[in-house]
Structure 1
Amino acid sequence: MASSLTTFTDEARIALDTLSGRAVGLFSPSLRLGVTGLSRAGKTVFISALVHNLIHGGRLPLFEAQKSGRIARAFLEEQPDDAVPRFQYEDHVAA
């Protein structure tokens, strides 16, 4: 009985977290980017350049979302998942 109550409580908490996350997403949508490729293919350079141009208003003539004005602003946030390491954007730009 106690384990089923714990499971129910855990499931309710997960449902509320999901619901609140989606509600926040309506007002402040975000995009998570994943890039895959072979070793030394330029993934780090690509991500660093893209993020830098989005944050600093660079010209991205082939990026339709930027060209059409659908991106109001871009900024860095903390990594919400502690199990996933943060991309060290600042270190890569400095290098």
Structure 2
Amino acid sequence: MSITTYTQAAGDAFRSIGDFATGLVTPAVKLGVTGLARSGKTVFITALVHNLIAGARLPFFDAAAQGRVVRAYLEPQPDEIVPRFEYEKHL
């Protein structure tokens, strides 16, 4: 193995450790929504994101009702292969 391979492996390990540590401090939730065509997936995602970002009361969402949702915000899509849901376009 070359020094470049070891350097890349070490870099990957440090990034993984950093990602793990960040997840402990600022946990993230990734949400996947599936359903039949025209079943309301876009409306559901748009409404959920909008209400979380706006800090709206969500009495039937246990985490929000119990005060466990501290903040919500949009971040850039980290994986360029997966298309970003255009939340702003659907408001």
Shift of residue 7, structure 1, vs aligned partner: 4.5
Moved over 6 A (4+): none
AA at the equivalent of 1:81: D
TM-score (norm 1): 0.84
TM-score (norm 2): 0.88
The partner residue of 1:13 within 11, 19, 29 is 11
| Deviations, residues 33-78 of structure 1 (Å, cap 9, x unaligned) | 1111111111110000000000001221111000000011111111
Shift of residue 8, structure 1, vs aligned partner: 4.0
AA at the equivalent of 1:40: R
Shift of residue 26, structure 1, vs aligned partner: 1.6
Give me the CA root mean square deviation. 1.5
Among the aligned pairs, what percent are the same residue? 57
Structure 1 residues not aligned, in runs of 5+: none
1:43 aligned residue = 41
Deviates more, 1:21-30 or 1:70-79: 21-30
AA at the equivalent of 2:45: I
Structure 2 residues not aligned, in runs of 5+: none
**Structure 2 CA distance for aligned equivalents of residues 53 and 6 of structure 1:** 47
Shift of residue 82, structure 1, vs aligned partner: 1.2
**Structure 2 CA distance for aligned equivalents of residues 64 and 51 of structure 1:** 16
1:27 aligned residue = 25
2:66 aligned residue = 68
Aligned residues: 91
**Structure 2 CA distance for aligned equivalents of residues 40 and 12 of structure 1:** 46
